[in-house]
Amino acid sequence: MKIQRLLIGYLWIEFVVFQTGFTQSFYKDSIMIRSIYDVALTQGTCYHHLYRLCKEAPARLSGSANAQKAVEITYEMLKAFKPDTVWLQPVMVPHWIRGDKAICYNVKNKKEKYNLIALGGSVGTPAGGINAEVIEVNGLEELEKLGEEKLRGKIVFYNRPMDRRIIDTFHSYGGCADQRVWGADEASKYGAVAVLVRSLTLAADDHPHTGVMLYNGENKIPGAAISTKDANHLSAQLKKGSVVLHLEMNCKNLPDVKSYNVIAELKGSEFPNEILLVGGHLDSWDNSEGAHDDGAGCVQSIEVISLFRQLNYQPKRTIRCVLFMNEENGSKGAREYADEALRKKENHLVAIESDRGGFTPRGFTVEGDDGKKEACMDALREWKHLFAPYLVHIFEYGGSGVDVSKLKGQGVALLGFIPDSQRYFDFHHASTDNFENVNKRELELGSATIASLIYLFDQYGMHHKEKELQLPD
Ligand SMILES: [Zn+2]
């Protein structure tokens, strides 16, 4: 009986090892990844780092004093882990200020007020404000139909909502963001005097969400967002008859300011010239603590250094943590980083960005240059089962991140860390994006997931060598 049982046990192991292709490296890697998660969940530093970044340097919009403070704080945080190198990469960034006026009310009924937030980069209104009739549109496409005759002298109100049926909320966001970014520029071509944009969120609440807007044309008109509840209210008022709004804002652009990307590096012992980048962006909007966007991505990137240090892990390749400045309104930090990498002929193997909030990890998306993204996807497919115990299962082609995507063309596989997206746009660019709305455990799981993938790239590069290491007969 006993022998029979032993035999069955032995045959089962044989089956697992030889039939399913599990290998020595699978066991080694699964143990290492388990250790990474264990340390992240029991001795993690990222939540405390996020607290410091949010409370000591909230509202760290590029060019602001708090953005400079964020540079100094994160430089110190990284230095504490004694990486091989920590440095600041200088870069000139835009300096836009919101001012202290954001007034919006119905001229015929001054008690009917709208909670307004200027879009980043917007010009102010003329002193004393604007009084103009509002015209609602469902997106940029409607402008041409209406033409100058209907739009001249008006405030154009973009009210296309995010599509609730789309499960990945980033796709839903992508379907509406053009209203915010190009709405004013497009409307100005038809003689409009200002634009209001429905906030880009699925939540029905009173918080207006800011975000960048851009001008191409010479005729710059102001742009602002109102909350989804206010947008619904304004739309209802317009159905009853004409609405004339008073709009007043004193935001403005100041001359560019010197700022920095913050960078730290663990030097590789075998392939020091092969760089594995992990990063997020240090700047945030000025109306919140920038906790999910992108304090979370910064502290998770710092945590990769921290975890490897705590585990006494000596990387084979160079692991570089990059905290980019100015993602929100210019991407000057990412451009400077990519330009310098090109000048120095640096060899980035992969670049992973975390900029989708500090929520429960789901996986990674991959893009990049031909050959690289496919090789990366092959490796991910091979490693996928290592992430299954942590409920991380998305490994697919898709956008990476605004910052790392500037490395396109340099032969790099670009990855985006994908946390669950359902709640991100509740907070994105709103005054509610604060430390208290980040869950400690979810943030830590994200750090561990990113560090685990960096570990695998460090061990194998883009060559998933498991098959070569199969157990002998
Ligand atoms: Zn962001």
Q: Which residues are paired to 217 by β-bridges?
A: none
Q: Phi-psi category of 104—alpha, beta or left, where left has phi over 0 and alpha has psi -120 to 50?
A: beta
List pLDDT tens digits, range 226-268. Answer: 999 999 999 999 999 999 999 999 999 999 999 999 999 999 9
Which percentage of the chain shows pLDDT scores above 90?
92
293 C-alpha to ligand 1 centroid (Å): 4
Q: Pick the catalytic residue: 327, 336, 353, 382?
A: 327
Q: Quick check: 32 and 308 in contact, CB under 8 A?
A: no
211 C-alpha to ligand 1 centroid (Å): 10
**Where are any strands of DSSP class E within 163-251?**
194-198, 223-226, 244-249
Q: Is 327 a catalytic residue?
A: yes
At residue 25, the pLDDT reads 85
Please state, in angstroms and as integers, the Cα–Cα distance from residue 434 to each residue in 50, 106, 124, 445, following that order.
10, 31, 27, 19
Pairing between strand 361-368 and 413-419? antiparallel
At residue 462, the pLDDT reads 85
3 C-alpha to ligand 1 centroid (Å): 61
43 C-alpha to ligand 1 centroid (Å): 26
Please state, in angstroms and as integers, the Cα–Cα distance from residue 72 to each residue in 56, 85, 99, 274, 389, following that order.
11, 15, 25, 28, 38
468 C-alpha to ligand 1 centroid (Å): 40
312 C-alpha to ligand 1 centroid (Å): 31
The answer to whether residue 24 scores a pLDDT higher than 90 is: no
List pLDDT tens digits, range 409-447. Answer: 999 999 999 999 999 999 999 999 999 999 999 999 999
List pLDDT tens digits, range 166-219. Answer: 999 999 999 999 999 999 999 999 999 999 999 999 999 999 999 999 999 999
The answer to whether residue 469 scores a pLDDT higher than 80 is: no
Asked if 23-96+255-469 and 99-250 have one fold, the answer is no
Kindly indicate the confidence band of residue 5, based on its pLDDT and cuts at 50, 70 and 90.
low
Q: Phi-psi category of 37—alpha, beta or left, where left has phi over 0 and alpha has psi -120 to 50?
A: alpha
CATH architecture assignment, domain 99-250: 3-Layer(bba) Sandwich (3.50)
E strand or H helix at 421: none
Q: Which CATH class is domain 23-96+255-469?
A: alpha beta
Rounded (10°) angle between helices 440-460 and 372-387: 120
324 C-alpha to ligand 1 centroid (Å): 10
Collapsing DSSP to helix, strand or coil, 198 comes out as strand
For the chain, helix (H) and strand (E) counts, in that order, are: 13, 16
262 C-alpha to ligand 1 centroid (Å): 16
List pLDDT tens digits, range 309-320. Answer: 999 999 999 999
355 C-alpha to ligand 1 centroid (Å): 5
Q: Where are the domains of the chain?
A: 23-96+255-469, 99-250
